[in-house]
Structure 1
């Protein structure tokens, strides 16, 4: 009987243990799900604000173009010499002069009686219509008066629609859906909208942005299935080795190779080759991706180069004259940069490599900065950006400045090496990153920006980082965007300088990863910058924070090119303004970078 009681007690304890494990496991999962849901809602809010920034920048640029054409009208009634410019413009479909007597002189397509549709004053002297659809195209009118004559442009809103993609929508001031995800628009009633939708308003025009992104159901694969990275011993012929083992060579850099088998899994390949006497190491071909606060490819139409309204000024002025600098680039004030530009705007002898999804080689704010480029997938010079992420990162670090166009970069004169190691979805692998790092070093990079990463420590990528470090190259990496302490690579390598993100109030951005490996912080929310096809958008993420520091490193080396990479790291740390907890902390590192103080230290002051 006692034995039965003991057994009953044992099974009761076992059952209680199982129930306790189940209970805590379930609650941990629920807590984790709640935490992820909360972060997702915060990310939605950040993206909604990015959309409002982007729409505002877009409309401001369209306004500038309209005012330029209106200025032409005052000089000449004939619009024939504007035809080519208007027809080539990807957003304006037409321009019209409407005289007091009702006569209309127009180029391109402009709806009938356009002046009657200009019902909303965007700002003093500039009016816009309600959005409308004509021939299946979302359109908007914008106009201004020159004396008694209306100058009106009709624009296509496709760019805005493509940027907000499938996770946002915009309504006009009457609450009518007019642009964005048609899936969200089904049975959508703004009056009844509540969580989980996030709502933000576009300043000055009463448009509302609604965002609700569902967490992706797709589980990201940690590595390329059926592929392995192998370092063969010296003297081993890769082709012969592959043929004997029934695998295909996908890529090779010296004795480092990527092999694929169409029948065996990665795990099988690791088991089959792990004891091979001809190799130094074998590992999966780990995936690596960009570090923006939201994911997905964003396509867009293009904005061709337009003539400047103001002549570019000589460098050395107190502040740049770029059209989006004053109203939108709050981020540059946060890093105390204006006085620093008086010391240096960079040097053509200190290239900054942007290892990313490539860079738009024809962007008006980047073309003159790009001196060379590389495609790590194809082993050629085709570095054109098919995603937009790399173009945005490059603009933050080193956009052409004082050209009236677009934005100002942290550096004005440092060359850009445009290195494509992420694909059209801004995804790559450890081998492509390693190749990109080695190419950058061998082609003169003094600074490398790595706004990418993943949680897997790759031998082939680590060796490339060590190679760059031994060549005294400064490497700047994004900490990651999951709001976790889990190390991301390459950011967690000791040779790499890691950057966390701040919001406009100087607080840690909610998405920014943290840990003892975080060195410093920089602006990472709502950062305006260049985008593919001559566009400008706002993005958020530690991807945007890192190039602020890469640009600063370029400026430091421009003042003193003899500095080692560790000396550059130390200057940046020592010049930070402490924020967050006093002293160095896991969330903001040594604090927010201070460009002016850093350049003073670089000059030996």
Structure 2
């Protein structure tokens, strides 16, 4: 019943498309009336996210077909299953109401389980029946719910099921509203409008219209032209680095501030009655303070020798174009990974996901300083799946690596927002706990010295650091990606073109797939997401494969291999949009 469990949960995949890309308006200095460039950028984001939504609905329909085809095959092998077993399957399935077999072309009913409309076969075939393959009816309303009939014609038989599809409107609209209220959708806090009919839709210049062929529906998606800025400082919080002989607890009491957290001689202090600049101005010249900075916020950056078999995971051939573009199949002929740990420093990871639970060996929560690394956002789980979902298990997706264990490090909260101090703690913990590769699908334009010190701490201990460049389509350096010790990864699409949202600049090292990427999500789900957040773990996975092939390599040598074997894109040689090009796993492993 695992397939049914995944299917039942996958209906909330629509939430992922809303969380797939974040766009911070303060990078663009908008006024109340955005300029033409802003409108073009907004329309492009709407277009991409509408595509993610349509693809997730297609992913759902594909899973329905896989379940129904499996039922049909099982019953063909053992006709006795048509009795109690089939009833159990239908009763347990939250969205399939009945299953019937007809003899074709006579349309004689052979057996029926569950409930189906009397005219199910007529709803399915308006004209001549299909000889073999899948057929969909037009959506219709039955007992207050939107439904459709789905049929598989095979060997003079047609196997028909009624599927409840009312979830589409319900989940799209409810979860879109939820995401918008959380400030994670589009530019600023723009209002979302998702409709499925011409009568409902309010079409304007930002509207995007997409067709869902299987359902014969049109998806209308738009957003208001409202732009607002987010505060990228934790209110009233300052990170201070004190002299070695100064006790942070005593110092905070003397300075009448609350000590939130400390590690060694670095501490985070808070006074909600003042802003960070006021506090820093007061302490300027204090001989006990070596360095201080606001506690900046950072966000997610939301798109084999051991075996002769290619992955048999159910979504690999149909949806994982990204791994094929990465040329990872050639790399797997060299290695599918090893026991070298890789840290996913993000919003945590879902430890119960069937495609991840066997890969996670340890975890850490930088906010609470404990092992509570459960992901309550979903971003980190999606990133982890791209890197290393359990592969060749006949279910879900394939990961870039098949074997490397995952250290799940939670440094972003339920809104996928963290701060420089928590991220720095997470990087140090991952380093101290054996990570040879750290993935950082997060960032902001603030050059935090506290974070840089943690980056250097990891780099000096030979850790490979991979980070996303950001999703603002700007040249502004994003940290930690722009630190010289880090390999910065931009995003490309399936045509090997730079994603319109991908940040660029001289600090960009390479690019990797980052649009419409299927991966794991909280609650055992599989969803599509887009962003440089999705590009980065492809490269982290490649780094893990390289080290699995030769663990004596230094981090700088791993960087050199990734850069030198990248396939050149854009202008000949290095350029600010593609760096050294798109990563090529097969060539990297050959070198």
Aligned residue in 1 for 2:163: 154
* 8 Å contact from structure 2 (residues 518, 527) kept in 1: yes
Deviates more, 1:149-158 or 1:500-509: 149-158
TM-score relative to the length of structure 2? 0.84
Deviates more, 1:269-278 or 1:221-230: 269-278
TM-score relative to the length of structure 1? 0.82
Cα deviation code 1:490-538 (max 9, x no counterpart): 0000000001111111111111111110001111111111122222222
Deviation of the 1:365 alpha carbon: 1.5
Aligned residue in 2 for 1:283: 293
Aligned residue in 2 for 1:592: 582
Query: Which gives a bigger RCO, structure 1 or 2 (Cα 8 Å, sep 6+)?
Result: 2
Distance in 1, matches of 2:122 and 2:363, equals 51
Kindly tell me: are residues 387 and 192 of structure 1, through their superposed partners in 2, closer, same or farther at Cα, counting changes over 3 Å?
A: closer
- Higher CA-based Rg: 1
* 8 Å contact from structure 1 (residues 504, 525) kept in 2: yes
Distance in 1, matches of 2:503 and 2:447, equals 17
Equivalent position SS for 1:166:
helix
Equivalent position SS for 2:484:
coil
Kindly tell me: are residues 250 and 70 of structure 1, through their superposed partners in 2, closer, same or farther at Cα, counting changes over 3 Å?
A: same
Equivalent position SS for 2:372:
coil
Kindly tell me: are residues 77 and 215 of structure 1, through their superposed partners in 2, closer, same or farther at Cα, counting changes over 3 Å?
A: same
**Number of equivalences:** 541
Deviates more, 1:35-44 or 1:442-451: 35-44
* 8 Å contact from structure 1 (residues 318, 338) kept in 2: no
Aligned residue in 2 for 1:334: 325
Aligned residue in 1 for 2:133: 125
Kindly tell me: are residues 123 and 203 of structure 1, through their superposed partners in 2, closer, same or farther at Cα, counting changes over 3 Å?
A: farther
Equivalent position SS for 2:250:
helix
Distance in 1, matches of 2:267 and 2:296, equals 14
1:211-360 to 2 correspondence within 5 Å?
211-214=221-224, 217-292=227-302, 316-348=307-339, 350-360=340-350
- Structure 2 unmatched runs, 5+: 1-28, 179-190
Cα deviation code 1:176-218 (max 9, x no counterpart): xxxxx99544994489956321122235543332222346644
Aligned residue in 2 for 1:208: 218
Deviates more, 1:30-39 or 1:187-196: 187-196
Aligned residue in 1 for 2:18: none
Equivalent position SS for 1:283:
strand
Distance in 1, matches of 2:489 and 2:337, equals 21
Aligned residue in 1 for 2:439: 449
Equivalent position SS for 1:212:
strand
1:49 aligns with 2:51: yes
Deviates more, 1:98-107 or 1:57-66: 98-107
Kindly tell me: are residues 373 and 71 of structure 1, through their superposed partners in 2, closer, same or farther at Cα, counting changes over 3 Å?
A: same
Distance in 2, matches of 1:592 and 1:560, equals 22
Cα deviation code 1:207-246 (max 9, x no counterpart): 3322223466442111111111112222322222222222
Partner of residue 351 from structure 2, selected from 361, 367, 375: 361
Distance in 2, matches of 1:500 and 1:456, equals 18
1:410 aligns with 2:400: yes
1:96 aligns with 2:96: no
Partner of residue 84 from structure 2, selected from 80, 84, 89: 80
1:332-481 to 2 correspondence within 5 Å?
332-348=323-339, 350-481=340-471
* 8 Å contact from structure 1 (residues 572, 593) kept in 2: yes
Kindly tell me: are residues 216 and 226 of structure 1, through their superposed partners in 2, closer, same or farther at Cα, counting changes over 3 Å?
A: farther
* 8 Å contact from structure 2 (residues 441, 468) kept in 1: yes
RMSD: 3.1
1:68 aligns with 2:96: no
Distance in 2, matches of 1:554 and 1:160, equals 41
Distance in 1, matches of 2:144 and 2:480, equals 46
Cα deviation code 1:440-485 (max 9, x no counterpart): 1111111111111000011111111010001100000001111110
Aligned residue in 2 for 1:562: 552
